[in-house]
Homo-oligomer: A and B are copies of this chain.
Amino acid sequence: MDRQNSIEHLLPNEIEKRSFEIISKELKERGIELPKEEEMVTKRVIHTSADFEYTKTLVYSKHAVRIAKDLILNGADIVTDTNMALAGINKKTLAGFGGTVHCFMADETVARIAKERGTTRAAVSMEMATKLKKPLIFTIGNAPTALIQLYEMLKDQRFRPEFIIGVPVGFVNVEAAKELILETEVPHIVNRGRKGGSNVAAAICNAILYELKKEQSGV
């Protein structure tokens, strides 16, 4: 019963506000001041992970957040390598700007080609996405092979993504694949190291979408 007394009674819309207040307070206590442009993105990643380590590992290329926002304002689509990120990205808000989220991981053609070639569905998914005739934000939350495929297509001058959110999680090739993207000139948000995931991928997209919505409503 004591435990129940420690529950704060808040209305649903107050919970998120209170969460961000706690995050801001703890960042201050840790002496961390986030660059204004990146602040709401990094905070939303902390909100989705309860992990302040992201303040040290998230890498933003120059004006990355502004560039991602402008792409969305110009109707960019999002391509992701995970159905969980597809589920988590706010598709309604993106649609309001004219964009759609694509995930080809469950596509049967992708599965067949991947099997034939002995490669991952994620890598083949990236190739499928190049056929979309729109500016594209690649949001990779799971497969380092997706990042490697993007890097190789870029190097061979076969395809240039407009933006890469590179936050796969894991133990095999994840760190190396992220470093490849960090070397490129493609605007990016990458989480260095092993951590990341579809929740982080969705949080980054949603932070950008919510900020844009706020900017547009003049709040």
Q: Which residues of A contact B (CB under 8 A)?
A: 3-4, 6-8, 10-12, 15, 18-19, 22-23, 47-51, 83-88, 114, 118-121, 145, 148, 151, 169-174, 176-177, 179-180, 183, 193-199, 202
Contacts and interface: CB of A to CB of B under 8 A. Distances in A.
Residues of A contacting B: mostly? helix
A171 B87 contact: no
A52 to B, nearest CB: 10
> Which 10 A-B residue pairs are closest in the complex by CB-CB distance?
A50-B194, A87-B87, A22-B171, A6-B176, A19-B171, A84-B88, A83-B87, A50-B195, A12-B120, A84-B84
Copies in the complex: 2
A197 B196 CA distance: 12
Nearest to A169: B50
A17 B88 CA distance: 27
B114 A172 contact: no
Contacts of A145: 12
Tell which of A23, A51, A193, A202 has the most Cβ of chain B within 10 Å: A51
A85 B51 CA distance: 19
B12 A170 contact: no
Tell which of A6, A19, A170, A193 has the most Cβ of chain B within 10 Å: A170
Contacts of A151: 4
Given A47-B170, A84-B198, 19 more contacts: A3-B180, A7-B176, A7-B177, A12-B118, A18-B171, A19-B170, A19-B171, A19-B172, A22-B171, A49-B169, A49-B197, A50-B171, A50-B194, A50-B195, A83-B87, A83-B88, A84-B87, A84-B202, A86-B87
